Structure 1
């Protein structure tokens, strides 16, 4: 078929027209014809994404503004004849890239372990016989046979169907199965969700059987079209990248200003240009946090491992922080907030009395409770007898159910009131039945009574179908004349709650040969059963936790607005007065322009009947408003929005492969509560990034202050470039690794999200860096000046200043553990790695003081215990300064 044929809307064609266009006969294809079509159209599969190799992942670690700065510093150091400096920087960059690449490679392997083939085989009619072939070998024109439990292998135009119901939630977001009718014709522009004579690739047959001709395969299916939409959606820049980029620009501006100021002072003194250049290089080395890229990678890697323990697999390191920075979570409903299976939750009787059914786990057969309410028993008996599903216990104590989703829910309901179908079937043997058909609207069974005393009719179905069959209704006082208005009122109340409602009736039966749909009369209306897709355990608490954390949760679903609103109210996402925004409202707003759409989405929390394209539009609208958006979903219909969001979260268990490949994070338990746990870990990771940055920048600021003061006073360089690199790359980095392992402070989910435009270098950090830099730099300069004034050699003075700076780092790393809490109010032993890292950094430096090789490289020498104690006393003044700053700004906590 050519492109024109591919664009044809098959749902609008009659069965003879479809058959003539695709095969010309009813016997399916022969193998030769199928082979030719496979060569022409290609395999029935979406292209598998090629996983980037390790070299690609390794090179990708160098794409960062901060890395560019360090690369420039390495080149400058090599050009001016400082190979040691260049080597140090190069080694740290290689180590950082190696850690990042290994972590992402491991994450990809974890993600690939979750991959499941969505369709493996399909039953087709080929060469005039039924065969089972790999689904990727299907071609347009193949005649496919569908039964309950099958995954639809391609887009099909149905030729016939018997009680066929299909779960299309992965494609449309609609949680309830769709009844299919092969004989009904649709208009050319009928939406996918309403094409009842067509089945789509990736959807699941939940009941019935059918036969259909393959119309499109691979990328031409509705699923394939959505995957193309996903590819065209441009991913948003992660929040951390945005903040690091702004931080790097500010750092470069500040560094350039300091270098120009220093050069101007030296030029005024007629200093040689080479000396000025070397001094500028030394200043740059002191200001640039060489250990920051490795520390960032380490923080994110640790966050990744912590998230795995909380059921979140990270596919991209930066997504750890992205989830913690989100201000809006746009979540799919079906399968994410809800269990994606029906549960019978309420019985409503004709006298308006009701009984709530426990939604917990099934009890064992021996412990099943027996209800005393005769009406409950009577209705549950009909629900269990007029039923084609199966429910049986397994050896491990769990239960296995199969069959139609509604029938499964009814069997579970009956079991919870003490009735088991296999027991009832022995007491009330089946004599005849009327199978459920969508056009019929009900199902009925005829059973022999115990001891052969007559027969019992059991009927279930739509209320409007059962009312004409009934002339009385059951009440607590016995059967009375039917009050149809009263029953319809109860039905209306349940419908307003978004429930799926079935009516039940029973009565005296006749002979099996006369048991037909037309002869069902004189029955007794028993009542109604309301079925819901229940919330996932912990979903409501997770939404409340998001609200406490200042995160707005929006629910996006293809379900009916009534159903969406009920779920939102149960989650406490919406009030009774709220009205969901529907796909129609979104389309009207989009037609008026982006401003109208942004006004509509600014405060909306519930969206219903939205298409995949509209989900993407909602995400883009929120991003235009300055929000950091996280999107959760499991279906193909969620893939474009997952790809475009700042961070996409896919369901790892039930999610489609297209959704998984679009996402940055995968949930191993498909639970929205795990998203919230990931937000908490992301916030902890961001806090730790800030702690590491403050530690590295504050010590770097102290070095800059030291250099500026010594230059202003015409003193020699207080530290050599190699000594600066020793501070920045070795002793600093060892301790920053400890900060990367800091546990949460406990209040992460009680704070609002960071403003999207806020820089890493916000006023709080700026104030702390300035005070730290001035105190440490000023004290180090005073020490250096005093030593030179008292006749110390320059190398000896540098030796003391280097040790003092290491001691300053040992103190400052504990000041960095919190922005708001006193060092004395933090659990001292909550981070043993930090303690060991600090001791290791100090011990390493002391070891170098006595190592002939390091004495030569660093220009150091041993110091006395008295000198070490004096320098430690000076370093502790930094602790006092930060405590005083904390008392002055926020009070003692």
Structure 2
């Protein structure tokens, strides 16, 4: 690799003279060869393509079949309704995809528009797209790097690379070194600069080694483009359900028609009934109900600082069992902060408002006077470390404005990577003083005195030991240490004279601290069976220290580095990935490998991040979560969800909502299938035993329209269960019918079907006939069918109340806690009364007015499924209580 080669070798390979650069002619030749220095975007789909893609689903195919069938039957209104459902579902999907930003376009936007390049011996500014391999680029403070470079010169050069490496502190660069290992992590390549990173200090010069898609940012773009997007668990379940229901509907059609043929019934009438029953057995409202429930969930989550970019992602959140989180800016504040300072008076934790000692005041003042940073009105410029030192002075109550006004800087000795120190010479009240800050080990070498309790005394070996022990303690807590010293002088000094015979004051320990709410959120996630994993480009020791504070890890052995990942095959890594809670010093490719390995173990993985380096892993994860405030456009474009408050706690809240939303969708699905099964049972059994059909085609379609709409949607709007986070995450392969859910569908459907058959029989019995009789008056058959029709609808509507929870009674949930459902039931009953009370509608549906006994029968039979379910819940609660008592 070019970063492991000497400068001379790299220049020879690229055939360029650094003092002259490329000629314009050669640059044009190379531009034709390598192409423009820009990121190529994946071709976007048209709106029509997006729309057609939404229709490529088994459930939609079944609905189209229902449209054809209903058109054939002349039921045009039902056909229109089904088509409307299909279009609504597709439009919602297209809108979500159109809203979704393109990650590659975002990458293009952050590429530097201009570059300083040396050509034909002259430095000139050109468009970054015209930069080619072999160009010599000049770097200065505040300029974005236009391509990947091997540095040729560096002077106090520091580059902000957090978007690529995850490190919150600018990386110091040194052109003179050559990396020995060809697999050196990206964050450790100190002789390199990368496209789209920002020069924060110093100056430098480098030769371009990679442009466009060959750069490190380009590789990220390639990963985003090539990563295939898998279906969410909800999409898989609905697709499978659609196939099953389609086969079931065809089977019902064929079976009933064959039975009618064998029994010698009117084939035209039976064909119509069998087709109607097939349509009724398909919950065509399911697609729209799922879309509506998800949309409601999206709106609710946006009010709680989580913006969903893809509707099915809401449900996927509910099955997440691993949260992979970037450290910088996600778990931490992405702001360097002085946590502790040490003088010979002792070690002190920084707290705003605490009165400092004289030595502490001088220490903080010295840090301010030996700084090039600024910080006013919440905005800072300069090195993040120096900004943190300014904030230390604010915490200690020092008036920085007054301090700067009283002290005038006369000279400075700039920081460089060899000395690892910076010194300034200032004048105040006619007296001169030198302030020096830097690595404590280097300060100990040049200091001859130390200040203790305001008194300057000779520096002894005991003092050195105290400072070294303080440094060690802070380092073990992942604090970056920085020492400060001073000396008075009666004359102006040269640069080298400034850093001689200094008086050591003390040192500070700083870090990018964790967010205040994260520890509690990690604990909540753990209680809910969700494992938090830290993935960062930062150093191993720093990452572990933060993770231990947050409760993510407690043993150093739970940390793995990117280099250690490289030593394992994909198979070996997949087997070991679950043993680690921290992955440090990783590259974008490592992050993708980690997420893939976790998914290979059957996990549903959420990945959080904010930088360009996080985009590929956000795209690979089941749920990619980007930070809305600090997140780059690239990260947002590759994500499924964006946190508008950048708060890790919001992820846990979103998971809770995701679980409740899935439960609501499941309630709606189970309710629809139970109701449809009841219709099938009633029709199939009566026809098999030779009775007349208890329901005609128009009645079946009306019932289907009534119960497949408002009650199911209202169930999807059920308030969240406050106990949902006490449950473990669902198995990703779990079906809608896991546990007692399948039995509830079977039992509910059979019960509703049997009650409908009983009501049909009672309609004959009232008039002194039996369903087995051959010659029955028309009014008797209409009375029986009216009873069956009304009972079926009433039992389905009341049954919706029982479907709100598997074990909690409607009184525990609150009878009026879901007013949408109560409203849907009342509307459904009202529409039934309108149908039976309006003469022309009563005639259209072949119904008759029931007598008082008939109405009582409808009410009592309609309540039976609800009452049976409530009794069953009492048994289930008692059994679970007994099991908990036995475990304890």
1:505 match: 485
Contact 2:434–2:498, Cα closer than 8 Å, also in 1: no
Residue in 2 aligned with 1:842?
829
After superposition, the C-alpha distances for 1:770-794 in whole angstroms (9 at most, x for unaligned) are 3322322221111111113434443
For 1:399-414, list aligned pairs within 5 A.
399-414=378-393
Distance 1:166 1:886, change over 3 A: same
Show the counterpart of 1:760. Answer: 736
SS at match of 1:410: helix
Instruction: Quickly say closer, same or farther: Cα 1:705–1:137, change in 2 above 3 A.
Output: same
Does the 8 Å CA contact 1:239/1:628 hold for their aligned counterparts?
no
Q: Aligned partners of 2:112, 2:842: CA distance in 1, in Å?
A: 67
1:445-480: CA deviations, max 9, x gaps? 1222x432x432211111121111112333348444
Matched, 1:703 2:696: no
Mapped to 2, the partners of 1:658 and 1:816 lie a distance apart of 43
Quote the Cα distance in structure 1 between the aligned partners of 2:60 and 2:16: 60
- 2:607 is paired with a residue of what secondary structure? strand
Size of the aligned set, in residue pairs, is 864
The CA deviation at 1:388 is 0.7
Q: 1:322 aligns with which of 316, 325, 332?
A: 316
Give, in whole Å, the separation in 2 of the partners of 1:829 and 1:37: 73
> Does the 8 A contact of 2:101 with 2:637 survive in 1?
no
Note the alpha carbon deviations across 1:388-417, whole angstroms, 9 max, x for none.
Answer: 101123xxxxx2211111111101111111
The CA distance in 2 between the partners of 1:312 and 1:134, in whole Å, is 38
Structure 1 match to 2:160: 167
**Compared with structure 1, are the counterparts of its residues 97 and 848 closer, same or farther at alpha carbon in structure 2 (3 Å cutoff)?**
farther
Higher mean C-alpha displacement, 183-192 vs 419-428: 183-192
Secondary structure at the counterpart of residue 543 of structure 1: helix
The answer on 1:121 being equivalent to 2:102 is no
Following TM superposition, by how much is the alpha carbon of 1:301 offset from its aligned partner in structure 2, in angstroms?
1.2
1:354 counterpart = 2:347: yes
- Which residue does the alignment assign to 1:146? 139
Give the match for residue 689 of structure 2. Answer: 713
- 1:59 maps onto 2:42 in alignment: no
Q: Who is 1:493 aligned against? A: 473
- 1:810 corresponds in structure 2 to 797
C-alpha deviation, 1:696, in angstroms: 0.9
Q: Bigger CA drift: 161-170 or 434-443?
A: 161-170
Give yes or no for contact 1:236–1:645 (8 Å, CA) kept in 2: no
TM-score, structure 1 as length reference: 0.89
Q: Is the 8 A contact 2:782 2:848 kept in 1?
A: no
Q: Which moved more, 1:72-81 or 1:663-672?
A: 72-81
Classify 1:49/1:712 alpha carbon distance in 2 versus 1 (closer, same or farther; 3 Å): same
Separation (CA, whole Å) in 2 of partners of 1:103 and 1:868: 48
Q: Quick check: 1:380–1:413 contact (8 Å CA) kept in 2?
A: yes
In 2, Cα distance between equivalents of 1:341 and 1:172: 16
C-alpha displacement of 1:580:
0.9
- Structure 2 CA distance, aligned partners of 1:24 and 1:116? 30
**Contact (CA 8 Å) 1:290, 1:729: kept in 2 or not?**
no
The root-mean-square deviation of aligned C-alpha atoms, in Å, is: 3.3
Q: How does 1:82-93 map to 2 (within 5 A)?
A: 86-93=79-86
Cα 1:687–1:810 shift into 2, 3 Å: same
Distance in 1 (alpha carbons) for counterparts of 2:34 and 2:110 = 20
Q: Is the 8 A contact 1:238 1:647 kept in 2?
A: no
Comparing 774-783 with 152-161, greater Cα deviation is found at: 152-161
Partner of 2:367: 383
- Which of 787, 799, 804 pairs up with 2:786? 799
Residue of structure 1 in register with 2:429 after alignment:
451
- Cα 1:137–1:749 change in 2 (3 A) is farther
Query: Can you list the C-alpha shifts for 1:548-599, whole angstroms capped at 9, x where unaligned?
Result: 2111111111211111101101111111565412223323332xx61x3233
Which of 437, 452, 460 in structure 1 is aligned with 2:437?
Answer: 460
2:858 aligned residue (871, 875, 879): 871
Cα contact 2:610–2:635 (8 A) shared by 1: yes
Partner of 1:728: 704
Q: 2-side partners of 1:426 and 1:91: how far apart?
A: 72
User: Is the contact made by 2:257 and 2:274 (CA closer than 8 Å) also made in structure 1?
Assistant: yes
- Alignment partner of 1:12 is 2:5: yes
More deviation in 634-643 or 47-56? 47-56
Confirm or deny: 8 A CA contact 1:738 1:833 kept in the other structure.
yes
Q: Deviations over 1:259-318 (max 9, x none)?
A: 777567656646577666555434322322121111111111111212222222222211
Q: Does 1:833 align with 2:812?
A: no
Greater alpha carbon shift after TM alignment, 883-892 vs 108-117: 108-117
How far apart, CA to CA, are the structure 2 residues paired with 1:726 and 1:27? 84
Using the TM superposition, name which of 557-566 and 746-755 deviates more: 746-755
Question: Which of 19-28 and 381-390 deviates more?
Answer: 19-28
Structure 1's 857 and 124: CA in aligned 2 closer, same or farther, altered over 3 A? farther
Paired position in structure 1 for 2:639: 663
Instruction: Pick from 451, 475, 481 the counterpart of residue 452 of structure 2.
Output: 475
1:428 to 398, 407, 416: 407
Residues 776 and 428 (structure 1), Cα distance of their counterparts in 2 relative to 1, 3 Å cut: same
| Alpha-carbon spacing, 1:82–1:831, altered in 2? closer, same or farther (3 Å) | closer
Structure 2 Cα separation of the partners of residues 121 and 440 of structure 1: 35
Task: Indicate yes or no: 2:56 matched with 1:69.
Answer: no
Stretch moving more, 232-241 or 816-825: 232-241
Structure 2 contact 436–499 (Cα < 8 Å) conserved: no
TM-score, normalised with respect to structure 2: 0.89
| Partners of 2:599 and 2:605 within 8 A in 1 | yes
Q: How much does 1:759 deviate?
A: 0.9
The residue that corresponds to 1:108 in the other structure is: 100
**1:230 alignment partner in structure 2:** 224
Check conservation: 2:115, 2:146, Cα contact below 8 A.
no
- Hey, what's the Cα distance between the residues in 2 that align with 1:519 and 1:385? 14
Aligned to 1:396: none
The match for 1:363 is none
Query: In 2, Cα distance between the equivalents of 1:171 and 1:109?
Result: 20
State the shift of 1:116 in Å: 9.3
Distance 2:506 2:848 in 1: 92
State the partner residue of 2:875: 888
Match of 2:886 in 1: none
Aligned residues of 2:14 and 2:133 also touching (Cα < 8 A): no
User: What is the rounded CA distance, in whole Å, between the counterparts of 2:25 and 2:647 in structure 1?
Assistant: 48
The offset of 1:700, in angstroms, is 1.1
Tell me if the contact between 2:277 and 2:700 (Cα under 8 Å) persists in the aligned partners.
no
Residues 491 and 616 (structure 1), Cα distance of their counterparts in 2 relative to 1, 3 Å cut: same
Alpha carbons of 1:826 and 1:598: their partners in 2 closer, same or farther (altered >3 Å)? same
Q: Deviations over 1:782-831 (max 9, x none)?
A: 11111134344434433343333332233122222222211112234433
Shift of the alpha carbon at 1:659? Answer: 2.9
Superposition deviation, residue 66 in structure 1: 2.4
Distance 2:787 2:60 in 1: 32
1:169 to partner: Cα distance:
2.2
8 Å Cα contact 1:186/1:195 also seen in 2: yes
SS in 2 for 1:334: helix
Answer whether contact 1:344 1:530 (CA < 8 A) is retained. Answer: yes
Q: SS of the residue aligned with 1:319?
A: helix
Which blocks of at least 5 consecutive residues in structure 2 are unaligned?
A: 768-778, 882-888
Q: Which residue does the alignment assign to 2:770? A: none
Secondary structure of 2:275 counterpart = helix
Q: Which residue of 2 aligns with 1:775?
A: 751
CA distance in structure 2 between the partners assigned to 1:743 and 1:835 by the alignment: 13
| Partner residue, 1:528 | 507
**C-alpha distance in 2, partners of 1:494/1:260?**
78
Once the two structures are overlaid, the 10-residue window that deviates more, 435-444 or 479-488, is: 479-488
State the alpha-carbon separation in 1 of the partners of residues 590 and 115 from structure 2.
Answer: 35
Q: Which deviates more from structure 2 when the two are superposed, residues 469-478 or residues 200-209?
A: 469-478
**Which residue does 2:204 correspond to in 1?**
210
Query: Which of 76-85 and 659-668 deviates more?
Result: 76-85
Q: Residues 257 and 270 of structure 2 are in contact (CA less than 8 Å); yes or no, is this contact kept in structure 1?
A: yes
The answer to whether the 8 A contact 1:650-1:663 is kept is: yes
